[in-house]
Amino acid sequence: MITLNNVSFSYADNEQCACEQTLSSLSFQIESGEFLCIAGPSGCGKTTLLRLLAGLHMPTEGKILVDGSPVCGPREDMAIVFQDYALFPWMNAHKNVQFCIRQTHPGISASDAAAMADRYLEQVGMADAGNKHPYQMSGGMRQRVAIARALAMDRKILLLDEPFGALDARNRTDLQNLLETLWCAENNPAKRRTIVFVTHDIQEAVRLADRIILMEPGGIAESIPVPLKRPRTLEDGPAGEQFRQIRRSLTDRLMELDRPAGRACRCGGPA
Ligand SMILES: Nc1ncnc2c1ncn2[C@@H]1O[C@H](COP(=O)(O)OP(=O)(O)OP(=O)(O)O)[C@@H](O)[C@H]1O
Ligand SMILES: [Mg+2]
């Protein structure tokens, strides 16, 4: 459904050297209804890739296609949760969620939009904080409102950039469960939302993904399927052991990518 054909990208101020491309010749596909996680060392280009998928940056070479049509700008079938949670600072939590509901459900009555906002805020554990403005919230609270807003938009493709990074363990687990439950609610896998989820946390990636793309600076190091049954378990027994095996091998691979040698400039110049 989403196809990247030989996609490269450079930020304008990095163009003096070809090897300074932030992303170089990426080609892969994301199936409709797939839950894809993207992991990799800091600065390898995960957010840049997500912004390209969202049509917020254009590839300097190559093409991104959604259902066969090129991505030329932000699309109506995508919602994105940014790493820095981008809420409207002049609106309280409830109004932030309502605003997106009105944009995506034209003609909805004020009372229905308010009830829907209540429901999504409750799902992310923010039922009692609807009247707080972003400056009155912790980082984790802001992130939960950003997630409620993206869920309420009910788009076919959901792009999430480290959405649970600022949360404590309890909220993180609750929201992982919520996201998986909402995604699995559609029984036909091909009709599910397509989710592209960036995370630093390998355990989170193995917990959530159908497939994990491990990035290295400039591109893709590996694409690893996660053939574990859902819901996934960390407990004893064969399923838990398989979970831990996948987590261990991914963590080892990520540690290799983190080594400074992996960051050497590809043109042979100084790292
Ligand atoms: N607006 C920009 N202008 C120039 N360079 C940028 C810009 N945004 C990001 N970069 C550079 O592009 C590279 C990839 O950045 P990106 O934010 O995509 O990494 P990331 O993998 O998401 O990192 P993190 O895990 O820390 O969020 C980095 O070297 C970064 O400095
Ligand atoms: Mg990032």
Q: How far apart (Å, rounded) are the C-alpha atoms in residues 173 and 159?
A: 19
Question: How high is the pLDDT of residue 267?
Answer: 52
State the distance from the centre of ligand 1 to the C-alpha of 126, rounded, in angstroms.
31
Question: How high is the pLDDT of residue 262?
Answer: 46
Joined together, the tokens standing for residue 161 give: 């950039």
Whether residue 190 is contained in a domain is answered as yes
Whether residue 210 is contained in a domain is answered as yes
Q: Are 218 and 212 in contact (CB under 8 A)?
A: no
Whether residue 163 is contained in a domain is answered as yes
237: left (phi over 0), alpha (psi -120 to 50) or beta: left
Q: How far apart (Å, rounded) are the C-alpha atoms in residues 239 and 246?
A: 11
CATH code of residue 210: 3.40.50.300
- Name residues contacting ligand 1 (CB within 6 A): 11, 13-14, 22, 42-48, 83
Q: How far apart (Å, rounded) are the C-alpha atoms in residues 35 and 208?
A: 7
Q: Chain centroid to CA 209: how far?
A: 11
Question: How high is the pLDDT of residue 271?
Answer: 42
Joined together, the tokens standing for residue 207 give: 């917990």
Ligand 1, atom 14: closest residue by C-alpha: 45
Domain range for 190 is 2-77+155-258
Whether residue 195 is contained in a domain is answered as yes
State the distance from the centre of ligand 1 to the C-alpha of 132, rounded, in angstroms.
31
State the distance from the centre of ligand 1 to the C-alpha of 43, rounded, in angstroms.
5
SS3 at position 13: helix
Question: How high is the pLDDT of residue 174?
Answer: 84
Atom of ligand 1 nearest to the CA of 13: 4
State the distance from the centre of ligand 2 to the C-alpha of 108, rounded, in angstroms.
35
Ligand 1, atom 28: closest residue by C-alpha: 43
Q: How far apart (Å, rounded) are the C-alpha atoms in residues 167 and 175?
A: 9
pLDDT along the chain (271 residues), means of 10: 95 63 94 95 93 95 95 90 86 96 92 95 92 92 90 91 87 87 80 92 94 92 91 75 91 77 49 42
Whether residue 8 is contained in a domain is answered as yes
One-letter amino acid of 189 = P
Q: How far apart (Å, rounded) are the C-alpha atoms in residues 113 and 109?
A: 6
Best of 14, 37, 48 for a ligand 1 pocket test (most atoms within 8 Å of beta carbon): 48
Residue tagged 């309280």 (tokens) = 92
Give the ligand at the shortest distance from the Cα of 200. 1
Q: Cis link prior to 231 (omega < 30° from 0)?
A: yes
Whether residue 44 is contained in a domain is answered as yes
Question: How high is the pLDDT of residue 260?
Answer: 46
Task: Burial-class residue 201 by CB neighbours within 10 Å (0-12, 13-18, 19+).
Answer: middle
Q: Which residues pair with 36 in a beta bridge?
A: 196, 211
Whether residue 121 is contained in a domain is answered as no
Whether residue 93 is contained in a domain is answered as no
How many structural domains are present in the chain?
1
Ligand 1, atom 16: closest residue by C-alpha: 45
